Amino acid sequence: MTSTLNGKVRGYIDDGIFAFKGIPYAQAERFMPPKAPENWEGIRQCQIFGPQAMQPTAQNWEGQSEFNFGFLFNREPMDEKESFVLNVWSKGINDGKKLPVWVWIHGGGYFAGSANQLPFFDGGSMVKKKEI
């Protein structure tokens, strides 16, 4: 568990890497500038990816191979107002160290894609590298 500007979040540890998924970073009405998210009470569970941004169709994983085993959703939920979230992986938290930040935005041309679409989008492997 750690704290953000808006409240406490609980993630999990996977192979020594701290992971927090679906942390709100903004809120906005359609075509309006974003605002800071509302503060929350208690501890927010940030252990699964947030919903994908609105697209023509949801990603459908039915009939996929074993490669896709482990995805959390058969059909990813889409939610325009709840999709302003980010995922964080780190070697340490609450240790006072300054750590590099890498921002990555998936492709998809406003037609397909999400942060958990493919296993190699998982940020844990980047954190394990010495350079990051």
pTM: 0.78
Give the per-residue pLDDT at 44: 95
pLDDT tens digits, residue range 26-42? Answer: 998 888 999 999 999 99
φ and ψ of 10, to 5 deg: -115, 125
pLDDT tens digits, residue range 73-91? Answer: 445 667 778 888 999 999 8
Residue ranges per domain, the chain?
1-132
